[in-house]
Structure 1
Amino acid sequence: MMFVSRRLLGRISLVSLAVLAACSTPPPPPPPTPPPAVVPTIMPVPPENAAEGMAIPTKDEDGKYLTANRGVTSNTALWHVRMALNVAALNCDKYGATARNQYNQILAVHSQVLKAANAAVDRNYKYAFGNAAIGSREQLNTVVYNFFALPPVIKHFCPVAVTVGAKVLSTPSSQLLQMAPAWLDELEKPFQEFYAAYEDYLRRLAEWQSRFGATVRVIIAPNSMPPPPKAPGEAPPSGWRPSSMGASPVNDAAAAPASSSATVQPLPGATGADVPSSATVQPLPPSSSSAISGPPAPARTLPDNSAPPRLEVQPLPTTGE
């Protein structure tokens, strides 16, 4: 009996020692703290799915982006409005046939004032550019058409064009020239807003590249696009020519100043309104009774006021809608 008790006590002692040993073992370390969630850094993209690396216009003194519509005469503004609505008629069919139908109605309702505006713009170009008038006007027309057809802006431009087209149709022809500059600003607004958004995208892209672009190649837009061609100012009315002193335009009916040193002599068979631009004005020799000392006035070149070719405006074919 005594032998069994000692053996039992020995086993209990061994179990106790094992329990004590287990209690003295340190607990395992806690699992490592998970890293903070990774916030993706997304590189800015151009607005309206525009192309990367686009050049945008510079701003003028008024803070607006410089376009071919800035600082134009009323006749030129009306013609640019017509071109903008023509672009809408050709590019806005996916939003309905309204723009196309409006454009054709405008050509019919306001045909006379549009023809007069076109003729006035032709005179402006002939006066400013002479024999290069047609090429200069075609160059600006191309810039204006491409401006209003900028793909990223079309979806914002089309509803504005429809709104302006409705205004043009509801306005008497006699008031079109007065309203044209405001309509042109309204048609240009979506493009001004797009350029502002693109400029902001370039700013955010430059900031992103400075932070995360060490291992990323980013192409930022090149220099700003060159200034667009500028439309000429209003040509003087028909029937006047510069004075021989070159100070200011005078009417043909006005008498020449007594101090004039040269008389403008038109070419044989030509009137003052259709003297070719290549004609050289020759001063007449002074008479013995009214000779004026000093060298004669330099020869001047008269503007070509002959009627230039007209731009034919054709209505667009109507759709079946």
Structure 2
Amino acid sequence: MSRVLLALPLLALATACAGPERTAAPAPLPVPAPAPAPTAAPRAPDGAAANLTIPTRLPDGSYATPNRSISAAAAAWHLRAAFNVAALNCNDPALAPAYNQFLKAHRSALKAAHHALTREYGDASAFDPAMTRLYNYFAQPPVMAQFCATAAPLLHQVAALPAGELPAIAPAALAQIDRPFTDFYARYDAWRADLAAWRAGDVPATPRLAYATEVFRAEPHVGGGTVTLAAR
């Protein structure tokens, strides 16, 4: 009996030395993820204004430019207008002499094209405003760099052609000059879609599907970035 009484004080002493009972530290609260930084609005391509009026996009993906579906006479005269704008606006001193050579070499074909196109419009009251719009079309600032890069070598090439060759190559040459404008319109339409998605809070899907505009026009004389001229 005395052994039992002796063990009880030892048990009490061991319990006192054990110290207070430890409890587990509380788990840290989850830190919320930072809000995504706001993205800037997409910018219009090539430094263009945000309120441009561009030609209508047709069901086949091409654009209703002034150089689409025109007569052979119109193609020759429109090409003359493009070369005139290039000589005046492109930073290349060699273009003015080339343009004068072009006018001299193809004087007869250009005179015939002018008469035929004037008859198409009926009179000067309709023809003159249409030509003003055409010159303004070729002088669009966002497209000027690519227009000059395309029109300059073509001007030198066409100016060196023999007289009488202009009607045969004008449609293909004009289609090549028109390409920088239709490419710009496609980029501008894509930007409009991106801007609408940004305003709605959506991230535009990437990569974006785009029209391959080269398949929408037949350019049998165009190849390798230059007009292929058939020998006669």
* TM-score for the superposition, normalised by structure 1: 0.53
Report the residue type matching 2:95 in the other structure: A
1:25 is displaced (CA, Å) by 6.2
After superposition, residues 259-278 of structure 1 pair within 5 angstroms as: none
SS at match of 2:50: coil
* Cα separation, 2, equivalents of 1:138 and 1:205: 37
* Cα separation, 2, equivalents of 1:98 and 1:204: 40
Query: How has the CA–CA distance of structure 1 residues 37 and 59 changed in structure 2, closer, same or farther, with 3 Å as cutoff?
Result: closer
Report the residue type matching 2:52 in the other structure: M
* Cα separation, 1, equivalents of 2:185 and 2:174: 17
- Structure-1 residue corresponding to 2:133: 143
SS at match of 1:146: helix
After superposition, residues 20-169 of structure 1 pair within 5 angstroms as: 20-21=19-20, 24=22, 26-27=24-25, 30=28, 32-33=30-31, 35-36=33-34, 38-60=36-58, 62-93=60-91, 96-125=92-121, 129=122, 133-169=123-159
- Structure-2 residue corresponding to 1:190: 180
Whether the aligned pair in 1 keeps the contact of 2:73 and 2:167 (CA below 8 Å) is yes
Whether the aligned pair in 2 keeps the contact of 1:98 and 1:162 (CA below 8 Å) is no
1:67 is displaced (CA, Å) by 1.7
Query: How has the CA–CA distance of structure 1 residues 36 and 86 changed in structure 2, closer, same or farther, with 3 Å as cutoff?
Result: same
Equivalences, count = 189
Query: How has the CA–CA distance of structure 1 residues 98 and 159 changed in structure 2, closer, same or farther, with 3 Å as cutoff?
Result: farther
Give deviations 1:57-111, integer Å, cap 9, x for gaps: 1134653211221222111111100101111111112xx3233332122122222
Query: How has the CA–CA distance of structure 1 residues 97 and 31 changed in structure 2, closer, same or farther, with 3 Å as cutoff?
Result: farther
- Structure-2 residue corresponding to 1:199: 189
Whether the aligned pair in 1 keeps the contact of 2:42 and 2:194 (CA below 8 Å) is yes
What is the root-mean-square deviation in Å for CA atoms of aligned residues? Answer: 2.6
- Work out the percentage of aligned pairs sharing the same amino acid: 39
Report the residue type matching 1:156 in the other structure: Q
* Cα separation, 2, equivalents of 1:171 and 1:144: 24
Whether the aligned pair in 2 keeps the contact of 1:68 and 1:140 (CA below 8 Å) is no
* Cα separation, 2, equivalents of 1:193 and 1:84: 17
Whether the aligned pair in 1 keeps the contact of 2:105 and 2:162 (CA below 8 Å) is no
Structure with bigger RCO (C-alpha 8 Å, 6+ apart): 2
* Cα separation, 2, equivalents of 1:63 and 1:147: 20
> Which structure shows the bigger proportion of residues in helix conformation?
2
SS at match of 1:24: coil
* Cα separation, 2, equivalents of 1:189 and 1:152: 14
* Cα separation, 2, equivalents of 1:147 and 1:20: 92
Report the residue type matching 2:117 in the other structure: V
Give deviations 1:250-277, integer Å, cap 9, x for gaps: xxxxxxxxxxxxxxxxxxxxxxxxxxxx
Report the residue type matching 2:101 in the other structure: Q
Whether the aligned pair in 1 keeps the contact of 2:105 and 2:161 (CA below 8 Å) is no
1:28 is displaced (CA, Å) by 6.7
1:27 is displaced (CA, Å) by 4.0
Give deviations 1:205-252, integer Å, cap 9, x for gaps: 22222226xxxxxxxxxxxxxxxxxxxxxxxxxxxxxxxxxxxxxxxx
* Cα separation, 2, equivalents of 1:26 and 1:53: 65
1:177 is displaced (CA, Å) by 0.5
Whether the aligned pair in 1 keeps the contact of 2:143 and 2:180 (CA below 8 Å) is yes
Report the residue type matching 2:97 in the other structure: N
Whether the aligned pair in 2 keeps the contact of 1:99 and 1:161 (CA below 8 Å) is no
- Larger Rg over CA atoms: 1
SS at match of 1:174: coil
